[in-house]
Amino acid sequence: MKFSKLIKVRESCRDFDGSRNIDVDLLKKIVKEGGIAPSASNKQPWYFRVASKKEDVEKLRVLLTENNVNTFLSQCPAFVLITKTEKEAPIDTENNFFRNMSSFDCGAACSHLILSASSLGLSTCIIGYFNREKIGEFFEVNEEEETLMVIVAIGYAKSDEPRAKKRKSFDEICEFI
């Protein structure tokens, strides 16, 4: 699929087909392609934890939809937690260079991952709204060493008809200087 088409068909899915699971090799490919993203000093400050076994997925669905948030996740067959493995410390405080790059890098990896999924006919939704403590405990993240960033919900969408994108106009987001 051409890149310009890929970025148009990629959209946040909130209507997963709960009856379709994802092949583990497909999940591996998607995560590998996430890890191809560029990063400052090529530090690759990310780590991916994939939950796709039925029992784990069921537990996660409960945690992620607690208090009636993101309830569509009750149909999602796989989740990828992305953590940041570097602290946000300025490398060069005097010149103010290279600040806050790790979060930016994780965003790039996440973007690669979701586009990879779309290119393979899968759908995703980035989930930023969740209880960090409970999810960290579930995935056994040592928060002294890693920071929870987002969870990517992955599955097959019930409908493959893309919605129109709601985006700022070109002039609002860009100027040529």
Ligand X SMILES: Cc1cc2nc3c(=O)[nH]c(=O)nc-3n(C[C@H](O)[C@H](O)[C@H](O)COP(=O)(O)O)c2cc1C
Q: Is 111 in the site for ligand X (CB under 6 A)?
A: no
Interface residue with ligand X, options 3, 19, 68, 128 (CB under 6 A): 128
The CB density around residue 17, as the number of other CB atoms within 10 Å, is 16
* In the complex, minimum distance from the CB of residue 23 to ligand X, in angstroms, rounded to a whole number: 24
Two tokens, residue 27: 């999940």
The SS3 of residue 153 is strand
Interface residue with ligand X, options 7, 8, 9, 11 (CB under 6 A): 11
Interface residue with ligand X, options 108, 126, 131, 134 (CB under 6 A): 126
Distances (CA, A) of 125 to 40, 114, 151: 25, 8, 8
* In the complex, minimum distance from the CB of residue 67 to ligand X, in angstroms, rounded to a whole number: 12
Full DSSP string of 32-91:
HHHTTS--GGG---EEEEEE-SHHHHHHHHHHHHGGG-SGGGGG--EEEEEEE-S----S
Binding flags for ligand X, 148-167, as an x/- string (CB under 6 A) = --x--------------x--
The residue among 103, 84, 99, 89 whose CA lies nearest residue 46 is 84
Q: Is 177 in the site for ligand X (CB under 6 A)?
A: no
Q: Is 103 in the site for ligand X (CB under 6 A)?
A: no
Q: Is 83 in the site for ligand X (CB under 6 A)?
A: no
Count of residues that bind ligand X according to CB under 6 A:
11
Q: Is 123 in the site for ligand X (CB under 6 A)?
A: no
Q: Is 17 in the site for ligand X (CB under 6 A)?
A: no
Two tokens, residue 165: 């994108």
